[in-house]
Structure 1
Amino acid sequence: MEKDDTYTKDGTVDYKGNPANKKKTGTWKACPYILGTECCERLAYYGMSTNLVLYFKHRLNQHNTTAANNVSNWGGTCYITPLIGAFVADAYLGRYWTIACISSIYVIGMTLLTLSASVSGLKPTCYTKEKCHATDAQSAVCFTALYLIALGTGGIKPCVSSYGADQFDDADDSEKKSKSSFFNWFYFSINIGALIASSLLVWIQDNVGWGWGFGIPAVAMAIAVLSFFSGTRLYRNQKPGGSPLTRICQVVVASFRNYQVKVREDKSLLYETADAESNIRGSRKLDHTNDLRLVSQLPT
């Protein structure tokens, strides 16, 4: 009984791959590092992106419509890459390594963007505050940095919130209640980062310079990465379960092949593994339910 109370029951493991100890990992011990990561990342993202149309217009000498179109294309990419990041995290790398690896690309992108706005030779040549000329090479450096950032968001956006949820064991009633409180703090962290970015950083970009305006978000993103790595020993990690597309196809095929089979009422007679854990690595065993059962309605 004491052993049952020591380790989590949702299949999570610690940073060494051993079953997660409830007293040493997860819950509010690990959450401050995740919340700090999210706050700094949102500050970096919104601080860099909020004024981007003006940067394209005044520094890269783009027309209003061209600048707005380029920002829209970039923003759309930022919302497509999380689909890739989520798939890689769930199927192969796990959330920890996905966040760790791709957030490093995020920092590289932010650093390159800062250099493109502040270093001679990389930054556009300006004649007045709102009249500049950028060469094709300078524009290419800027867009390379932006799309590295877009790739970085693909590893952060879909994984951080669910990684925070992994720190609470659903099989433990007290931890399950704390999970709701975590999401309250999570969205509070997002709004704090966005508030600072949309007010202070926008003012800095307009009144101090773009080098500082992009440099501060780059530092914030570096702090986000450091905050994330600082909590490594405290995190609970779900094992990746392989490609979900394969399992979806298996379920569809099995459903069509067995749609006429009558399900037995006795659960012990069903095709099921006797082990405590699922045979699918990284997945939890699900309780049997009739909620999605198909019952044919034949006329009487």
Structure 2
Amino acid sequence: MAEDDIYTKDGTTDFKNKPAIKKQTGTWKACPYILGNECCERLAYYGINTNLVNYLKFQLNQRNVEAVNNVTNWSGTCYVTPLLGAFMADAYLGRYWTIACFSIIYVFVRNDNFDIITPSIGGLKPHCDGKNGCHPTGLQTAVFFIGLYLIALGTGGIKPCVSSFGADQFDDSDEGEKKKKSSFFNWFYFSINIGALVASSVLVWIQTNVGWGWGFGIPAAAMAIAVMSFFTGTRLYRNQKPGGSPLTRICQVLIASFRKFQVQVPNDKSLLYETVDEVSAVKGSRKLDHTEQLR
């Protein structure tokens, strides 16, 4: 094999920050650990979200409207925090370290909240009796919501990075690997749906019929497995280097588009202002192919 064919050509590196070796990293060798992480993380997330209204009503003694409003606010936060996670990954940490750091936040919060360890530390579990329901104190409610929103922060660092991190395991300059990437995304969404299905059926039944401790303990264990799965594949991953703030580049494109909207685009793409190298001039990014779209 020629020396040029030993390493990937998309700028990815291994866990030692050296050029990634094709035969030893990436592709389907690395993907099972990423898919396992995503499946368990989605099971943990939907294990909270699916039955959270009932938890707030019966354990925190909230009215139905108040409980639904709190769940809606929390769900909305879970879909806003990925903006922060994506920015941190692209600009500073890279996808691997963003997933790793936010997963650790996620798993520690899961194990310190939701009826699992909290009963043993300062009576943080609300007192419940068979007739009048539960009677949480202000401190107990505050600790619960702090943990809940830390979980939103954790999922915000995982959600935007896992799919693109999986795509990083396939070199687009290699036609064979490029074809395998579409198969990865099929398995990726299959993993999401498996996690959501188990959470919405099995875990909801356990929470309702067995107890909240088991109902939230199983997702916490699943999240711990997700973290272990992710770290197990560290030596096999291909990593893209962070390329600085994407917001800066977006602003540059908008300003350049406004200033040059009357410029005629040449038919010959060789006349376009392009870098002569095969890789992008932006550190950590791929060079895009020329297309006729968005002229």
TM-score by length of 1: 0.91
Indicate if the aligned counterparts of 1:109 and 1:147 stay in contact, CA closer than 8 A. Answer: no
Q: Deviations over 1:142-189 (max 9, x none)?
A: 111100100011011111111111111111111111111111111111
Equivalent in the alignment of 1:203: 205
Identity, in percent, stands at: 74
Q: CA deviation at 1:239?
A: 1.2
Q: Deviations over 1:106-125 (max 9, x none)?
A: 11221122357751511111
1:101 paired to 2:101: yes
Report the CA distance shift for 1:276/1:137 in structure 2 as closer, same or farther (over 3 A). same
Q: Which sits farther off after the overlay, 136-145 or 279-288?
A: 279-288
Question: Structure 2 counterpart of 1:69, which letter?
Answer: N
Equivalent in the alignment of 2:143: 141
Report the CA distance shift for 1:5/1:128 in structure 2 as closer, same or farther (over 3 A). same
Question: Structure 1 counterpart of 2:143, which letter?
Answer: V
1:179 paired to 2:151: no
Structure 1 CA distance, aligned partners of 2:171 and 2:252? 29
Q: Following superposition of structure 1 onto structure 2, how do residues 238-257 of structure 1 map, counting pairs within 5 Å? A: 238-257=240-259
TM-score by length of 2: 0.92
Report the CA distance shift for 1:208/1:25 in structure 2 as closer, same or farther (over 3 A). same
Question: Structure 1 counterpart of 2:49, which letter?
Answer: S
Equivalent in the alignment of 1:298: none
Structure 1 CA distance, aligned partners of 2:285 and 2:69? 42
Indicate if the aligned counterparts of 2:94 and 2:242 stay in contact, CA closer than 8 A. Answer: yes
Indicate if the aligned counterparts of 1:165 and 1:179 stay in contact, CA closer than 8 A. Answer: yes
Q: CA RMSD in A?
A: 2.0
Equivalent in the alignment of 2:49: 49
Indicate if the aligned counterparts of 1:47 and 1:201 stay in contact, CA closer than 8 A. Answer: yes
1:20 paired to 2:20: yes
Q: Following superposition of structure 1 onto structure 2, how do residues 1-300 of structure 1 map, counting pairs within 5 Å? A: 2-115=2-115, 119-120=119-120, 121-128=123-130, 131-262=133-264, 270-293=272-295
Which ranges in structure 2 are unaligned for 5 or more consecutive residues? none
Bigger Rg over Cα: 1
Structure 2 CA distance, aligned partners of 1:288 and 1:204? 53
Question: Structure 2 counterpart of 1:28, which letter?
Answer: W
Structure 1 CA distance, aligned partners of 2:133 and 2:7? 63
Which ranges in structure 1 are unaligned for 5 or more consecutive residues? 294-300
SS of 2:113's equivalent in the other structure is helix
Give aligned pairs, total. 293
Structure 2 CA distance, aligned partners of 1:190 and 1:288? 33
Structure 2 CA distance, aligned partners of 1:80 and 1:130? 37
Q: Which sits farther off after the overlay, 199-208 or 280-289?
A: 280-289
Structure 2 CA distance, aligned partners of 1:288 and 1:172? 18
SS of 1:119's equivalent in the other structure is helix
